[in-house]
Amino acid sequence: MSRYKHSSMYCYPGSDVLINHFSIKDDNKLKELETVYSLLRLSELKLKEPADPLDMDAFIEIHRTILQDVYPFAGELRKEMISKGSSSFAHPDHIEVQMHRIFNELEQESYLKDLPRDKMIERLAHYLAELNALHPFREGNGRTVREFARQLMANAGYQLNWEKIAGPAEIINAFVDSFNSTNDRLENLLDEMIKP
């Protein structure tokens, strides 16, 4: 069953399988392959110095890097509506404008470099919630946002370790809460994961 509520221009006709460089039409096999390649690319990113400033172009480049081996749309903003469960994400006509707004705001805050830790966590949660609500890519939003946060914190002199949280459900639920009501849960998780 599809995680999304409608057929997609990004999928093979009559299926929920994303068009990919390997012409794989079995969703389970594709997800296995995607996991292998994305973990490899994420490992490579951890060995590199983050872009500084970590602006909108750098954010998009993170997505391209993570999924470049698997999907032709890696590094491209999505062109169709998507939703998961009861959550509909931003209309594609608004994605670029909203991304510029988010990254202009982040630049005005010096990419969170000079804030006290508590304020920095609060603002980081804000930006991650905004990017999650936007869901600018067809696939790979969570991985891109998490890697972006890791790099943003590295530039600010901190280590953000997503693996400190026991399971992905906690992170997903924190993002769901941020989408529907409050960033409190996300802020608490970030407080656990961020070290000097």
Q: What is the pTM of this model?
A: 0.94
Average pLDDT, the chain: 94
User: What is the average per-residue pLDDT within 166-180?
Assistant: 86
103 burial type by CB count under 10 A (0-12 exposed, 13-18 middle, 19+ buried):
buried
Cβ contacts of 42 within 8 Å, gap of 6 or more: 66, 143, 147
* CATH tag, 27-195: 1.10.3290.10
CA 177 – CA 49 distance, rounded (Å):
32
Task: Tell me which of 54 and 3 has the higher pLDDT.
Answer: 54
Q: How much of the chain, in percent, has pLDDT values that exceed 90?
A: 84
Terminal-to-terminal C-alpha distance of the chain? 42
Q: What pLDDT score was predicted for residue 6?
A: 54
Report the alpha-carbon angle 61-66-70, nearest 5.
Answer: 115
